[in-house]
Amino acid sequence: MPSPFIELQVGERTVKVTNPDKVYFPEIGATKRELVEYYVSVGEGALRALRDRPTHLKRHPDGVGSEAIYQKRMPAKHPEWLETVTVTFPSGRTADALRVTEVASIAYCANLGTIDFHPWQVRAADVEHPDELRIDIDPQPGLGFDTARRTAFLAREVLEEAGMTGFVKTSGNRGVHVAVRIEPRWDFVEVRHAGIALARAIEERAPDLVTTAWWKEERGDRVFIDFNQNARDRTIASAYSVRAKPSGSVSAPLTWEELADAEPADFDIRTMPERFVRVGDVHEAIDERAFSIEPLLEWYAKDDRGDMPYPPNYPKMPGEPKRVQPSKARDE
């Protein structure tokens, strides 16, 4: 028998939602239909975060309890109005990734079981020069959200010192993300260097709280700032992205004032639509100004520690230190 379906009008498009009553988030009983309708309800904000960016999809076609499908390439068969953009991976291979141009694109992918949307730091017009610098604040196991909150406020101080403004959001888990619009004048290597300099400056303000140690064995009970999220083909969940958690939690854009007492559990696919109606997109101004990363690159150039390890899927990069965890290096 054919699968049950409904049709939603999303802008000028009609989006088909199959198996709309399938439970996707068991902790709250939320269905696939609610997931798609959530993305439509916050569409203006979600589109602002994703517009024209190559975007990877994290799909769970049978709900968050099912195994994830990480999709970097859009299938050849898709609606004519759904756009793609070609990206180059660290290996040199290329792929046609989703290019989000309208809310219907998001709704269509949600019907495919996409829970999380993971955009690149670039736009389709120039996929070699990022226009976003990212600070990924990741408390290590056993640490609570308050450690991420404190680290985020330190990041804000450092950004202000560099003459930059960051926009903060919950990660949808225990962490915090800060996004900074930058001028698309520098390549991935340079933007990653700027991210390293920024992370080190935050670490220097509170070394007992914050670490930039790439190797987990060196991090201890501290908050890790993942500087490698600024590298090519490294992505984080977008603003308004739902996370694959039974609770239906969401990566929620906040004002800095709200961060002071926010709790990640306050933001899910049922609470965010009402919030969006009430306060709108609190990141509405994010595209109004793009900043230079020259101050951060100057900090990096003055630091004799140089570069840090890349992720394991990268080829050996120029200037990169030995990519061996310290305990194994000592045993050699």
- In this model, does residue 273 exceed pLDDT 90? yes
Identify whether 320 is part of a domain. Answer: no
pLDDT category, 332, cuts 50, 70, 90?
Answer: low
Identify whether 328 is part of a domain. Answer: no
- In this model, does residue 284 exceed pLDDT 80? yes
Identify whether 226 is part of a domain. Answer: yes
Same domain for 84 and 225, yes or no, is no
Same domain for 66 and 99, yes or no, is yes
Q: Do 188 and 137 meet the contact criterion of CB atoms below 8 Å apart?
A: no
Same domain for 296 and 160, yes or no, is yes
Strand residues in the chain grouped as ranges (E): 5-10, 13-18, 23-25, 30-31, 54-59, 69-71, 83-88, 94-99, 114-119, 132-139, 167-170, 176-181, 210-211, 223-225, 253-254
Distance (Å, rounded) from C-alpha 159 to C-alpha 181?
A: 12
- Number of domains composing the chain: 2
Same domain for 193 and 50, yes or no, is no
Same domain for 192 and 71, yes or no, is no
Same domain for 137 and 212, yes or no, is yes
Under 8 Å CB-to-CB from 178, ≥6 apart: which residues?
134, 135, 137, 152, 155, 156, 159, 166, 167, 168, 169
Looking at residue 330, its pLDDT comes to: 59
9-53: pLDDT as tens digits: 999 999 999 999 999 999 999 999 999 999 999 999 999 999 999
Same domain for 188 and 59, yes or no, is no
What's this model's pTM, rounded to 2 decimal places?
A: 0.95
Q: Domain end: 103, 124, 145, which one? A: 124
211-263: pLDDT as tens digits: 999 999 999 999 999 999 999 999 999 999 999 999 999 999 999 999 999 99
Same domain for 78 and 221, yes or no, is no
198-210: pLDDT as tens digits: 999 999 999 999 9
Identify whether 240 is part of a domain. Answer: no
DSSP summary character for residue 67: P
57-106: pLDDT as tens digits: 999 999 999 999 999 999 889 999 999 999 999 999 999 999 999 999 99
Rama region for 281: left / alpha / beta (φ>0; ψ in -120 to 50; rest): beta
Residue 170's CATH number: 3.30.70.3300
Residue 99's CATH number: 3.90.920.10
Same domain for 119 and 147, yes or no, is no
Looking at residue 30, its pLDDT comes to: 97
63 is in which domain, residue-wise? 5-124
Identify whether 174 is part of a domain. Answer: yes
Same domain for 178 and 207, yes or no, is yes
Same domain for 93 and 223, yes or no, is no
Same domain for 116 and 142, yes or no, is no
Identify whether 329 is part of a domain. Answer: no
Identify whether 307 is part of a domain. Answer: no
